Structure formats: C-alpha cells, structure tokens
Amino acid sequence: MQFTLFGLLMLAVSLAVASPAEEFEALVEDHWAWTLEQSPQLRTHLGDSGANDRWGDMSLAAHAQRDTRRAEFLAQLEAIDADALGEQAQLSYAMLLRRLQSERSEYRLGLHLIPINMRSGPQHLHSLQERIRFSSERDYRDWLQRLQRMPALLAQYREVLEEGIAQQRTQARVVMERVPAQIDRLLAGEPADSPFYKPFRAAPEGVPESQWVELQGRAAEVIDRELNPALAEFRAFLTGTYLPACREQPGIGSLPDGKALYRFLAGYFTTTDMTPEAIHAVGKAEVARLLAEMEEVKASVGFEGDLQAFNTFLRSDPRFYYETPEALFEGYLAISKRLDPELVKLFGKLPRMPYGVRPIPDTIAPDTTTAYYSRPAANGTQAGYYYVNLYRPEVRPKYEMEVLSVHEAVPGHHLQIALAQELEGLPMFRTTGGETAFVEGWGLYAERLGYQMGLYTDPYSRYGQLTYDMWRAVRLVVDTGIHYFGWSRERAIDYFKANAGKSEADIVNEIDRYIGWPGQALAYKIGQLKILEIRQRAEQALGEDFDIRAFHDHLLGAGAIPLDALERRMDDWLLEQRG
C-alpha cells in the first residue's frame, strides 16, 4: 500500500487526536493479544486450538520479560484520561489497572517462585486434554507436540523452584509431600496406561487406520522414552532437593516478609482493604452464628447429645452414604436435573450454554476437593462441566449433594460464568475472567437460594447447607490463623473438626489446600456477605416492589467485578428502582 504525503499527514493527525476511549480500546486489545500469546493453556481453555501444540514459557527469563511488559502496559494505561471514558470503560480501566498492579506485586514479592501445590503444577497438565475436542488428526499431533515439549517445561519448573529455594520462597513441606505420589500415579504401568496417553485410547472418525496406528505408536514412544524419564527426574529433584528445602511451617507468614505477602494476598482475593485481623474476627462471628442454627436443626431431629456427637453420627451412619461410585454419580445427576426448572423463579435471564456432570479423573481425585466447575469454552465449542469426586463414596455424604450442586452448577458457578461469557460490549478479560471474591461469593450466595428453589426440605440437607456455609466461615479463621497468626496444621484441622460436620478426609484435604494456596479461601465468605448485605439493603428499601429476578439480573449483568464496584453498581440500580 502506498500513501501520498497528504495521506500520511492525515494519518498522523488522526492518530494524534485519538480519543481516550479509542486509546483505551486499543490498549485493551493489545494487552489481551499479549496475554493469549503468553498462555497457550489459556487459549486451549477458551476453545482456541491455535496454540495446542505448546506450553507457556515458565522460565525465569520469561517471568522477568512479562514483568517488564506489564510495566509498559501500566505506563500506557495511566497516561489515558480515565475520567473521559464511559461507565463500563471506567470499570474496565479500574479492573485492568488493578490486575497489572497486582501481577507486578506478585512478581516483586516472589510469589511466582511458588508455582506448585498438590492441586496445581505440571503433574496435573494431563487434565488439559479435557478441554480439547480431538476431532482431527491435527488435534492428536498437537497433543504429541505438547508431550514432546514437557521435558523442557519440567526443566523450567525446576529452574523456578531452585530460585525459590535461593530466595526463601518455598511451598510448605506438608503440601509438597503429596506431589511425588501424584507423579508416581502418572508413571505407573505401561505407556498406554498414562493419563497423557488417554486421547489415543479410542480411534476417532476420519483418521485412516494406518495413521491412527502410527499416532498411537508415536505417543507410546514419546511417553516411554521422553516424558516418563523427565517426570522421574523431576520427581527425584523434588524428593532430593526441593522437599528438604521446603518450609516446615505451614503458613506463608513464616517466610521472610511473609506477613506482608499474606496481607497482599488477602487484599487481592477479597478486593477489599480488610486486614487479616478483621477477616479473622468476621470468621469467628460467622462460626458462632452458624453454630446456633446447627443446634436448632439437631434439636429438630430429636438427636440427644452435643453437636460434636451429632457430627460424628453424620460422618459414620451408613444411611447418609452411597455404597458405590456409580450410585453416587447417579445421585448427582438426579439432583442436577431438578435444578434447572427452578431457575425461572429467580432469574429473568438465563445462559444459552448448557452444562454437564463428569467424574473427577481418578489420578487426581484422592488429593482434591469434593467437586469443582470447569467453565465453557469462550467460542462455544465446549459446554461447562460440574466435576464430582467419586473417590471413596463412603466419605461423600448425601446431605451435602444439594448444596454442592447449587454452588458448582446452577444457580452458582455455571449460571454466573456462562452469563458473563455471553455479555456483549465488554473486553474479553472481563467476560472470560473476573474477581475471585465475586465468583466464589456468588457461588456461596447461591447456596442460600436453594431454599427458594425447593431444596433442603429434609432437615439433614438443611444441615448440609449450614455445614457448607460453616465450611466457608471456618476458612476465614483457619486461613488467617495458618498464614498470619502462625497456627499449626493440626490446630487448623482440630478447629475445623470442632465446628463443621464435614468428613475428616475432606477436612484434611481442605486444610492442605489452604496451606498451598494462601488467601484464596477468604474470597468466598467475604464475597457472600457483601452480596447478602446489598440484597438486604434493596429489600428493605423497596419492600413489596423488590423484584428478585431483576435484582439478580442486574447483579450479574457486568460480570465478576470487584466488590466495591459491585456495591456502587447496585446502589445506582436501587436509586433507579426508587424512581
């Protein structure tokens, strides 16, 4: 393309007079493109297959380069006049500013040097295959490329962990002690038994048999000769070098400047300026409130004995448990089918994207929680999935299944996340992501909506709802206790057992999760309490004119935003409703 001198001058003039809105839109697009470039795994999660043959760069040099680039984005962003932007663009500006500042703080504080725990790390990368459709020969060859690139990725993880040792930024030993056994499960059996080989177990349509046999052979060869030796070497590094250097104390506060680390994480996950001391106090107050409600349920079923005896009864009586994983899974499916028809009572707008129910993979089930949710692909190529833990059904009580389902599926995570992905006119970083305090706060708030959906009619199911609410209240106490006040793991487990009716297996897994992921556990209850406060204020102000469907539609209508922004948004809505 050729430009005249006048054309070049006009182009320069048009660039020079770009409005703040245009500058911001260009910056958001540039930042998102860079984000996708940095994270092939994110692209896979979003349904984009263009980077399915590689992993993100985990090296120290890549971390440093990303921090430099974020500094450049931050400088560009701060040069834009935010006051000249529209309402939603101002919110996007504030969220992007917060995100860049937080990511730079994470790097400065050395949190990138603690990239592994029992629920996250290279030992779990095989689960990414569940986000891939595997409908063409290319999909399988891309996965082969990823398998071949795993040894280099493991070397990068080792480099980061070694630097973490040098900078005294290590994971808690009690968490990392679980990881070698997770790697052992990957190495067990023949190459065809490996979770990384799973896509090659069933032949797809459209791939000639000769090519399929070649792909299977190549996959087994790569796993046997390249991937498994690299995993075994990484395991040896963990047991011989990293584990001995891990911190003995469970709390991140035991590291140099550890309390500052935790204060940052508390603010990051709650999107508030609440101190760990204040969060701890809120948790204790919620525990006391819920204990009183649990006592009422205990009395209603005529149980004689204290609450601890009641919890022991619930943990041990066979009537509350399925005998087989298959029966447990059927129970989850039956509950999920009951939820959808009730949603119209509470929401005017429902997501187009459906969800399904899947078992948590056997390789990770022993070390993970009771359930989790996997969001839909952003391009609509995959539904959302509610994953349930079928490992040891004798510790998965029936009375928790309703409350768990409304949290993870609908009206909890699936409804909120699918609606956010369908919002129009917002940048991708808002529709495909968002603040944990909103996402998890909504999930916990949704548990209370079960009453309005006709759930918890059985007193034991009501006790299950209170148990789950208590679980999140206890989190505030034990997470701050472990990471800020120096609690031992045993003290945290004992506090949990004394105040919640969950099984001991779940409690131990949960405490180890909090140890390995400091601060994240705070988001649930803090987010829920803010949403409940906003709803109570609206109900009191509007009285009989309060419309729960309109309230929920507006609450969810901007995606997962910070709690202070949510409060301002809903205060404006309330003013409009009052005329």
pLDDT at residue number 10: 47
Using the structure block, give the residue that is written with the tokens 């480099």.
159
Taking only the tens place, the pLDDT of each residue in 236-287 is 999 999 999 999 999 999 999 999 999 999 999 999 999 999 999 999 999 9
Q: What is the mean pLDDT of the chain?
A: 95
Given a contact cutoff of 8 angstroms between Cβ atoms, the answer to whether 527 and 444 are in contact is yes
pLDDT at residue number 205: 86
101 vs 90: CA distance, rounded Å: 16
Given a contact cutoff of 8 angstroms between Cβ atoms, the answer to whether 222 and 163 are in contact is no
Query: pLDDT exceeding 90 applies to what percent of the chain?
Result: 90
pLDDT at residue number 11: 43
Given a contact cutoff of 8 angstroms between Cβ atoms, the answer to whether 106 and 37 are in contact is no
Taking only the tens place, the pLDDT of each residue in 421-450 is 999 999 999 999 999 999 999 999 999 999
Rg (C-alpha) for the chain, rounded Å, is: 25
Find the length of the chain. Answer: 579
- 398 torsion bin: left (phi>0), alpha (psi -120 to 50), beta (else): alpha
Given a contact cutoff of 8 angstroms between Cβ atoms, the answer to whether 336 and 357 are in contact is yes
113 vs 135: CA distance, rounded Å: 37
pLDDT at residue number 505: 84
Q: Answer whether residue 492 shows pLDDT above 50.
A: yes
CA atoms within a 13 Å half-sphere pointing along the CA-CB vector of 48: 14
249 vs 242: CA distance, rounded Å: 15
Q: Where are the domains of the chain?
A: 1-38+59-114, 119-248, 262-273+317-472+523-528
Q: Answer whether residue 9 shows pLDDT above 70.
A: no
DSSP letter, residue 240 = I
pLDDT at residue number 4: 59
Evaluate the CA torsion angle 350, 356, 359, 360 in order and state its sign.
negative
Helix, strand, coil: what percent of the chain each, to 5? 70, 5, 25
Give residue 474's identity as a one-letter amino acid code.
V
CB atoms closer than 10 angstroms to residue 176: 23
pLDDT at residue number 1: 44
Q: Where residue 504 falls among pLDDT bands split at 50, 70, 90?
A: confident
Given a contact cutoff of 8 angstroms between Cβ atoms, the answer to whether 400 and 388 are in contact is no
Nearest CA to 123 among 46, 185, 199? Answer: 185
440 vs 258: CA distance, rounded Å: 25
Q: Where residue 189 falls among pLDDT bands split at 50, 70, 90?
A: very high
pLDDT at residue number 16: 55
Q: Where residue 364 falls among pLDDT bands split at 50, 70, 90?
A: confident
Taking only the tens place, the pLDDT of each residue in 282-320 is 999 999 999 999 999 999 999 999 999 999 999 899 999
Instruction: Identify which has the larger pLDDT, 505 or 554.
Output: 554
CA distances from 506 to 308, 367, 404, 511 (A): 17, 10, 13, 9
CB atoms closer than 10 angstroms to residue 508: 15
Q: Per DSSP, what are the bridge partners of residue 112?
A: none
Please state the separation of Cα 78 from the chain's center in Å: 29
pLDDT at residue number 6: 54
By the 10 Å C-beta count (0-12 exposed, 13-18 middle, 19+ buried), 180 is classed as middle
Question: In the structure encoding, which two tokens stand for residue 44, read together?
Answer: 């896979």
- Torsion of Cα atoms, 348 then 449 then 474 then 180, to 10°: -70
Q: Answer whether residue 100 shows pLDDT above 50.
A: yes
Q: Answer whether residue 542 shows pLDDT above 70.
A: yes
pTM score of the predicted model? 0.93
Query: pLDDT exceeding 70 applies to what percent of the chain?
Result: 97
555 vs 557: CA distance, rounded Å: 6
3-state secondary structure of 117: strand
- Average pLDDT score over residue span 330-342: 96
461 vs 463: CA distance, rounded Å: 5
Given a contact cutoff of 8 angstroms between Cβ atoms, the answer to whether 441 and 490 are in contact is no
491 vs 321: CA distance, rounded Å: 28
